[in-house]
Amino acid sequence: MPGISVLWPGPAENLVMDADAVSDLDIDRVVSAIVGRDEYGLRAWFARPVRDLETVRYRQEVFADLADESARAVFDEFSAGMRGMRARLARQDRLHHPQQRQGWQLAAAADYLDTVAQLAEALTPLPLNSRALTRFREFVSDYVAGPDFGRLAANVHRVRRALEEVRYSLRLVGRTLEVGPGGTEPDYSSTIAKLFSRFGCGGPSAIRQRSEWDDMNQMEEQILDRVATLHPSAFGQLGEFARSHEQFAHPDVTAFDREIQFYLTYLAFAGRVGGSTRAMCLPRLASRGEPIHAEAAFDLALLTRRGDAGVVCNDFRLSGPERVMVVTGPNQGGKTTFARTVGLLIYFAALGCPVPARTACLPLPDRLFTHFERAEQAADPDGRLADELVRIRDTLTAATADSVIVLNESFSATSTADAVRIGRDVLDRIVARGSIAVWVTFFDELARTGPATVSMVAATDPDDPSRRTFRIERRAADGNAHAVVLAERFGLTYDRVEARIASCG
């Protein structure tokens, strides 16, 4: 059963995103938090969401199996064993003495055999349901029982046994160290122990196991050369093993070792960011026209920046003719965070991963667009508004009924009247295409454009309107001037400023 993959059931079409969308949603930050040092080169896979339903479901099945801690422990143990094998091979690459290099290769092969055999045994009783892991279990069971694995195991055992029988002696003669065959010199240990026993001394203590060290000095290399000369058969077998088994690991096993890390690494990340008030779930995938929703969703990017502090969960739902969530409310109220949350939910759903929400039903789009406010560039002769219009034109040209668009404070570079007129036209085009969108805006008028739009408002504390709750509520835009509340709190209203000026006259 060659070419087994636990990530790819077949070719998959990518979800289309550009670099601006990756930056706007802060995806690189989240992926960096997931992969850490990225010893397995996982970043490329986490940067490749797909629009292929079969691939997403294939991966969700694996995540569902690994939700069982006993199953995950089996694969964690396998990963640790393979990591140890690779560490031995990495040490081997740094060595120069041929017999020492061959010895480390033999030890790595022994680690590999133990790791794979233990995996095959541990997988047998596991209640696996995913197509990927059940297929791999069948493969590894057949592989361990097959001739290639048996031949490698027999060769490792034969060579190790030959080396274990090697005996040699070291004799200091003046300033010279002589290496000779073992067993030819008398063993004085028992004589010395008997002599000192009359003074109450016990027998010699057991030889302490020395930690492995991959470096040898010149004298040790010369001793090894002489020992290899004294025992040509054992070291000849070692050399033959190294030549015959230069690549001893099965490619499907090494591929699995890397691919399973996609799941284990993400689950480890989910365990770090989860908590009593936050949960992650495998989302249902919504077909076109089916309601989409998320309950207790939160922003992974914010969590990686701030930790637990300041992360608030929110809900949303679109059903029936509803296509666009228009988010209004005061500055610093969590609107952009909410929009980014929606984008990240869809992104990680398209990777087949659990998403940051208690429950969710999400679309699997063909494209994920963002249209975030950009700082004006002095070298741009057309200005910021023209740049925004060009970008939104390109987005609307490419968008389809299967696309998702995240807009944040678009068209704020012009007057309110013009921004509302442009915004309404853009909303009409989004609705006409059937795309799903979330739009953060200062213009309450955009939240009242028809049945396709849903008004979401960043709430404040009813007892203290200057305090943000970071809750995004589904209700009509209230048009409250929260800036006036802040001005009153800090004594910056027109009347109070005018009074202070007058008092200084």
How far apart are alpha carbons 231 and 166 in whole angstroms? 7
Does 409 score more than 90 pLDDT? Answer: no
Tokens of 233: 């058969």
Q: Residue 38 has which token pair?
A: 């990225």
Does the pLDDT of residue 237 top 90, yes or no? Answer: yes
User: How high is the mean pLDDT of the chain?
Assistant: 88
Model pLDDT for residues 69-113, shown as the tens digit of each residue? 999 999 999 999 999 999 999 988 888 899 999 999 999 999 999
Strand intervals (E) in 336-403: 359-363, 368-372
Higher-confidence residue of 179 and 33: namely: 33
Name the residue with higher pLDDT: 25 or 467. Answer: 25
Q: How far is CA 340 from the centre of its chain?
A: 19
Burial class (CB in 10 A: 0-12, 13-18, 19+), 491: exposed
The pLDDT of residue 211 is 54
- Return the structure tokens found at 492: 């910056």
**Per-residue pLDDT at 93:** 85
In this structure, of 21-25, 349-353, 457-461, the range with the lowest mean pLDDT score is 457-461
Fold of 279-503: Rossmann fold (3.40.50)
Burial class (CB in 10 A: 0-12, 13-18, 19+), 85: buried
* pLDDT band of 411, cuts 50, 70, 90: confident
Q: Is 382 a residue whose pLDDT tops 70?
A: no
What is the rounded distance in angstroms from the CA atom of residue 327 to the CA atom of residue 277? 24
Q: How confident is the model at residue 466 (pLDDT cuts 50, 70, 90)?
A: confident
Cα-based distances in Å from 103 to 93, 110, 497: 12, 11, 83
Residue 380, pLDDT > 60, answer no
How much is the pLDDT for 272?
Answer: 86
Output the CA torsion 144→146→148→153 (10° steps).
Answer: 50
Angstrom distance (rounded) from CA 229 to CA 140: 40
* pLDDT class of 3 with cuts at 50, 70, 90: confident
pLDDT surpasses 70 at 35: yes
The better pLDDT of the pair 224, 415 is held by 224
Residues 364 and 51: beta-carbon distance below 8 Å: yes
pLDDT score at 433: 95
The Cα 373–Cα 447 span in angstroms is 19
Give the side-chain half-sphere CA count within 13 A for 69: 1
pLDDT tens-digit series, residues 119-130: 999 999 999 999
Q: Measure the N-to-C terminal CA separation of the chain; round to a whole number of Å.
A: 91
At residue 469's C-alpha, the angle toward residues 463 and 470, to 5°, is 155
Cβ neighbours, 10 Å, residue 129:
11
The domains of the chain are located at 52-184+217-273, 279-503
What ranges in 350-415 are assigned the alpha helix state H? 383-398
DSSP tag of 308? T
Instruction: Read off the pLDDT band of 1 (50, 70, 90).
Output: very low
Q: Quick one: average pLDDT of 197-220? A: 70
Q: Is the CB of residue 364 less than 8 Å from the CB of residue 349?
A: yes
What is the Cα–Cα distance from 380 to 386, expressed in whole angstroms? 10
Which token pair is 177?
């160290």
Residue 275 has a pLDDT of: 62
pLDDT at 57: 97
What are the pLDDT digits (tens) for 239-285? 999 999 999 999 999 999 999 999 999 999 998 887 656 789 999 99
Angle CA 388–28–84, to nearest 5: 165
Contact criterion met (CB below 8 Å) for 341 and 297? yes
Q: Is 268 exposed, middle or buried (0-12, 13-18, 19+ CB in 10 A)?
A: middle
pLDDT higher for 490 or 95? Answer: 95
Taking a C-beta distance cutoff of 8 angstroms, is the pair 280, 305 a contact? no
Min mean pLDDT across 112-116, 173-177, 386-390, 501-505 is at 501-505
Question: Which single residue is written with the structure tokens 């004294």?
Answer: 230
Residue 444 has pLDDT above 60, yes or no: yes
* C-beta separation of 496 from 477 below 8 A: no
Most confident of 54-68, 180-194, 438-452, 483-497: 54-68
Percent of the chain with pLDDT over 90: 64
Q: What per-residue confidence (pLDDT) applies to 157?
A: 97
- Of 269, 299, 294, which is closest to residue 284 (Cα–Cα)? 294
Q: What angle do CA 471, 475, 478 make, to 5 degrees?
A: 95
What's the pLDDT at 448? 83
Single-letter code of the amino acid located at 18: D
Q: What is the pTM of this model?
A: 0.87
Q: Is the pLDDT of residue 50 over 70?
A: yes
Label residue 381 by pLDDT band (50, 70, 90).
low
SS3 123: helix
